[in-house]
Structure 1
Amino acid sequence: MKDLVVDPSIVANLCCGIKHNIILSWKAAPVGFLKLNVDGAMLKNDLIGGIGGILRNSERKQLDIFFEPIRQGPPILDELLALKYGLEAFSNLNSGLNMQLIVECDNKVAVEWILNPMKFPSSFVSLVRIIAELIRTKNVLLRHILRVCNVDADVLAKKGIG
């Protein structure tokens, strides 16, 4: 612990890149892929929320963004709606691009529900099935990332709140 105080670069090394297979900063998609980062945000009273996302290519070029307000609901709903909206937008955009997609979301529960259909509650069954079907039919790679890697999508989700 004393080394952290003496050498601040140790902290910098922990905050950037990959450490123990945990991604700690946003990375561009590999060549031939697009990357979609999505997020949802909900005000504390759960009465209004927003969703947002950003689609970029392997050169970090922004291809598309979205941000929208959403209705009241539990916080997990905003994450699922962001995934659905982003996947649908990509499906419409990708007709001429023919690229493979990586989707990143900072909500571990939402990602687990999509990847393991036995884990989600019945109240979300139709929404989770729609998202899972979009991922399956479009051969999308879905993965959980840390919130610090999803800052741009978070800003857009908060912009969706208004």
Structure 2
Amino acid sequence: MDTISTILLNLKESCSEVRQSKTLRLEDWVPPPFDSLKFNVDGSARGTPGPAGIGGVLRDYTGRLLCTFSNHIGIQDANTAEILAIARACELCVSRPELKDRDIAIVSDSKVAVSWVNNDEIGSLKHLQVIYDIRNLMRRLGSVSVSYSARAANFVADSLAKKGSDSGEVLLTWSNI
């Protein structure tokens, strides 16, 4: 079993207690179009503020895992964690030359974070620098978008973010792209 499969198996087992809201409709992950990539990201804070983490998973149109990350980010609020997860995905994509001209969809389950990144207005001065950094990274990538998707469709990223909240470990795994 490869490293990413082992990580996902452990996450699935450790997150079996995930609660389902009555209003949350369980959705399956939807792959990106042919020859495109999707980077599902999430932030987690265990309090307002509280121990926080970020996580994400990059997949191709076949669902093959290309990258996973999970980081503890200290004591933060949920919005900061969500913005930092988007920023980390952008940084990772920029760090790989083979991703420069690929169509990449970064998907978050935070409507607030997505609107801050996509709009000219800034929702919070606290996040101003990170939002500018995200926009600059996106320009360097070429064809990249940031969009919203329901939490249920973002289960793996959610699990990785919660793992980051709960531990000081840094996880970053790449497969062949």
| TM-score (ref. length: structure 1) | 0.80
> 2:162 aligned with 1:158, yes or no?
yes
In the TM superposition, residue 135 of structure 1 has moved relative to its aligned partner by: 2.0
CA distance in 2, matches of 1:128, 1:45: 21
Aligned to 1:51: 54
Aligned to 2:10: none
Q: Secondary structure at the match of 1:48?
A: strand
Aligned to 2:115: 112
Aligned to 1:5: none
RMSD: 1.7
CA distance in 2, matches of 1:143, 1:96: 22
Aligned to 1:147: 151
Aligned to 1:30: 33
Aligned to 1:11: none
Work out the percentage of aligned pairs sharing the same amino acid.
30
Counterpart of 1:152 in structure 2: which amino acid?
V
Taking the TM superposition and a 5 Å limit, the aligned residue runs for 1:3-82 are: 15=25, 24-82=27-85
In the TM superposition, residue 136 of structure 1 has moved relative to its aligned partner by: 3.0
Aligned to 1:128: 131
Q: Which runs of 5+ in 2 are unaligned?
A: 1-24, 168-177
In the TM superposition, residue 137 of structure 1 has moved relative to its aligned partner by: 3.0
In the TM superposition, residue 96 of structure 1 has moved relative to its aligned partner by: 2.3
CA distance in 2, matches of 1:96, 1:88: 14
Counterpart of 1:81 in structure 2: which amino acid?
L
Q: Secondary structure at the match of 1:153?
A: helix
**Size of the alignment, in residue pairs?**
141
In the TM superposition, residue 45 of structure 1 has moved relative to its aligned partner by: 5.0
Question: Is the alpha carbon distance of 1:156 and 1:145 closer, same or farther for their aligned partners in structure 2, counting shifts above 3 Å?
Answer: same
Max Rg structure: 1
| TM-score (ref. length: structure 2) | 0.74
